[in-house]
Structure 1
């Protein structure tokens, strides 16, 4: 069974977790809508997608907020088109459940604890989105187990 974790930020990523082998493969967030659609179209069958909920802070400009929510909508639309069930989760919820620190470097180290054989995918600081997407997929195991029961 495959689970999909998505860190939806501009520097985010998508991670496919094979729940049988506990191996994860990450993809950086595509830069354009057509590239995103191509990536979503090429995914294997996915049981559930755990998508990190985005939020707008008071310091953000209206333009930034609009672009962020537009991208989030495009992403959700692509997942719906592929009939991939989506569960959104706030960052504080999944990070607390998996004991993931807010610090991006510490988060990469935590992901390496879950996926030691896959840690080379987020060895550089700029790939923290890959690590978070992988952990979101891991978090999705709880949803998949409940759905199977």
Structure 2
């Protein structure tokens, strides 16, 4: 399959401690990183990824309020979350939201982040989930990869 015709899946765990990942349509992980900090950095990263990967499909975990979150925190999270949809609309790329319960069910996951990293390691054994200057797995990277894999399996 020629590179121009390959579909890529951009999986996004949208939280401040989330991450971004890209899978090829054959399931090969291409790239993964912690969530950039700051809206301009997020936008720059998304634009670069979209330019580097033609036929990109964005799959984002649907933002939702969490019990105990304050109004200000919810507002900031929603503002942050909207960045992904805005970039997809402006650059005219396919955009899909998925509830955590939906994609996690496919992989037999719960809210336990350690289980997410374990399943990710099983599916993507060559991916290093420990970012530079860190000592432990980054569950956001694991979940971003699994979100992309969910979209790939659905052939979005």
Fold conserved between structures, TM > 0.5: yes
Distance 1:21 1:52 in 2: 19
Q: Greater share of helix residues, 1 or 2?
A: 1
Distance 1:139 1:122 in 2: 22
Does residue 13 in structure 1 map to residue 24 in structure 2?
Answer: no
CA RMSD of aligned residues (A): 1.8
Distance 1:96 1:21 in 2: 19
Distance 1:21 1:73 in 2: 27
Cα pair distance change 1:21/1:88, threshold 3 Å: closer
- TM-score, with normalisation over the residues of structure 1? 0.87
**CA offsets 1:43-80 (integer angstroms, 9 cap, x no match):** 12243211101111341111001001011112211222
- TM-score, with normalisation over the residues of structure 2? 0.84
Cα pair distance change 1:2/1:105, threshold 3 Å: same
Unaligned stretches of 5+ residues in structure 1: none
**Among residues 29, 37, 42, which one is paired with 1:31 in the alignment?**
37
Contact 1:17 1:25 in 2 (8 A): yes
Unaligned stretches of 5+ residues in structure 2: 1-6
